[in-house]
Amino acid sequence: MALKPIIFYLFFFFLSLISLTHSFTRSPHFFPASLSLSFSTQNEALYQTSYFTQTLDHFNYQPQSYQKFQQRYLINYTYWGGAANKSPIFVYTGNEGDIEWFAQNTGFMFDNAPYFKALLVFIEHRFYGESIPFGGQEVAYSNASTLGYLSSTQALADYATLIIDLKKNLSAEGSPVVVLGGSYGGMLAAWFRLKYPHVTIGALASSAPILNFVDIVSPYSFNNIITQDFKSVSESCYRTIKGSWKQIEDTAQQPNGLEKLRNSFKICKNYISANSLENWLSTAYIYTAMTDYPTPSNFLNPLPAYPVKQMCRAIDDPTVGNDTLARLYGAANIYYNYTGNATCFDLNDNSDPHGLGEWTWQACTEMILPTDGNNNDSIFPASKYNYSNRATFCEYSFGITPRPNWATTEFGGHDISIVLKRFGSNIIFFNGLRDPWSGGGVLKSISKSIVAIVAPQGAHHVDLRFSTKEDPEWLQNIRRKEILIITKWLKQYYKDIDHPTM
The string of DSSP letters for 9-39 reads EETTEEE-STTSS--B----TTHHHHHHHHH
Residue closer to ligand NAG by CB (options 184, 345) is 345
At closest approach, how far in Å is the CB of 166 from ligand NAG?
A: 4
**Interface mask toward ligand NAG for 90-129; x: CB under 6 A:** --------------------x-------------------
Q: Give yes or no for residue 145 binding ligand NAG (CB under 6 A).
A: yes
Q: What is the dihedral of CA 189, 192, 194, 198, to 10 degrees?
A: -130
The reply to whether 273 belongs to the active site is no
Q: Give yes or no for residue 337 binding ligand NAG (CB under 6 A).
A: yes
The reply to whether 435 belongs to the active site is yes
Query: Cα separation of 189 and 277, whole Å?
Result: 37
Query: Cα separation of 389 and 396, whole Å?
Result: 11
Residue nearest to ligand NAG (CB): 34
Residue closer to ligand NAG by CB (options 333, 431) is 333
**Interface mask toward ligand NAG for 436-465; x: CB under 6 A:** ------------------------------
Query: Cα separation of 319 and 315, whole Å?
Result: 9
Query: Cα separation of 53 and 137, whole Å?
Result: 17
Residues whose CB falls within 8 Å of the CB of residue 237, separated by 6 or more in sequence, listed in order: 230, 311, 312, 315, 316
Taking CB under 6 A as the criterion, the residue among 4, 18, 34, 39 binding ligand NAG is 34
The string of DSSP letters for 282-317 reads HHHHHHHHHT--SS-EESSSEE-SSHHHHHHHHHHS
Choose the stretch contacting ligand NAG; rule: CB under 6 A; options: 90-98, 239-247, 338-346, 419-427. Answer: 338-346
# residues near ligand NAG by CB under 6 A: 41
Query: Cα separation of 150 and 145, whole Å?
Result: 10
The reply to whether 425 belongs to the active site is no
Q: Give yes or no for residue 502 binding ligand NAG (CB under 6 A).
A: no
**Interface mask toward ligand NAG for 375-394; x: CB under 6 A:** xx-----x-x-x-xx--x--
Q: Give yes or no for residue 344 binding ligand NAG (CB under 6 A).
A: yes
Q: Give yes or no for a contact between 338 and 27, defined as CB atoms under 8 angstroms apart.
A: no
Residue whose C-alpha is closest to residue 171's, from 119, 125, 122, 123: 119
Read off the DSSP letter of residue 83: T
Residue closer to ligand NAG by CB (options 107, 197) is 107
Q: Give yes or no for residue 333 binding ligand NAG (CB under 6 A).
A: yes
Residue closer to ligand NAG by CB (options 333, 371) is 333
Give CA separation, 28 vs 20, 134, 290, 333, in Å.
22, 32, 19, 11
At closest approach, how far in Å is the CB of 383 from ligand NAG?
A: 6
Instruction: Considering the candidates 87, 151, 152, 183, report the single residue annotated as catalytic.
Output: 183
At closest approach, how far in Å is the CB of 196 from ligand NAG?
A: 16
Instruction: Considering the candidates 158, 229, 346, 435, report the single residue annotated as catalytic.
Output: 435
Beta pairing partners, 205? 181, 429
Residue closer to ligand NAG by CB (options 52, 285) is 52
Residue 74 three-state SS: strand
Choose the stretch contacting ligand NAG; rule: CB under 6 A; options: 95-103, 210-218, 246-254, 337-345. Answer: 337-345
Taking CB under 6 A as the criterion, the residue among 266, 304, 468, 481 binding ligand NAG is 266
**Interface mask toward ligand NAG for 13-32; x: CB under 6 A:** -----------------x--
Query: Cα separation of 212 and 214, whole Å?
Result: 7
Question: What is the tally of helices (H) and strands (E) in the chain?
Answer: 18, 12
At closest approach, how far in Å is the CB of 259 from ligand NAG?
A: 16
Residue closer to ligand NAG by CB (options 131, 431) is 131
Task: Kindly identify the residues of this chain, within the stretch 156-185, that bind ligand NAG according to CB under 6 A.
Answer: 162, 165-166, 169
Give me the phi and psi of 268, to 5 degrees please: -60, 165
Q: Give yes or no for a contact between 23 and 350, defined as CB atoms under 8 angstroms apart.
A: yes
Q: Give yes or no for residue 139 binding ligand NAG (CB under 6 A).
A: yes
Q: Give yes or no for a contact between 460 and 485, defined as CB atoms under 8 angstroms apart.
A: no
Q: Give yes or no for residue 342 binding ligand NAG (CB under 6 A).
A: yes
Residue closer to ligand NAG by CB (options 84, 320) is 320
Query: Cα separation of 123 and 77, whole Å?
Result: 15
Instruction: Considering the candidates 234, 460, 461, 463, report the single residue annotated as catalytic.
Output: 460
Give CA separation, 456 vs 185, 233, 298, 474, 478, in Å.
22, 14, 22, 9, 11
Residue closer to ligand NAG by CB (options 15, 210) is 15
Q: Give the Cα-Cα-Cα angle 24, 25, 29 (nearest 5 degrees).
A: 105
Helices (H), 26-98: 31-46
Taking CB under 6 A as the criterion, the residue among 61, 340, 484, 498 binding ligand NAG is 340
Q: Give yes or no for residue 48 binding ligand NAG (CB under 6 A).
A: yes
Task: Kindly identify the residues of this chain, within the stretch 52-91, that bind ligand NAG according to CB under 6 A.
Answer: 52-53, 76, 78
Choose the stretch contacting ligand NAG; rule: CB under 6 A; options: 151-159, 226-234, 340-348, 352-360. Answer: 340-348
Residues whose CB falls within 8 Å of the CB of residue 50, separated by 6 or more in sequence, listed in order: 72, 73, 74, 75
Q: Which residues bind ligand NAG (CB under 6 A)?
A: 30, 34, 45-48, 50, 52-53, 76, 78, 110, 139, 142-143, 145-146, 162, 165-166, 169, 266, 321-322, 333, 337, 339-345, 375-376, 382, 384, 386, 388-389, 392
List the catalytic residues: 183, 435, 460
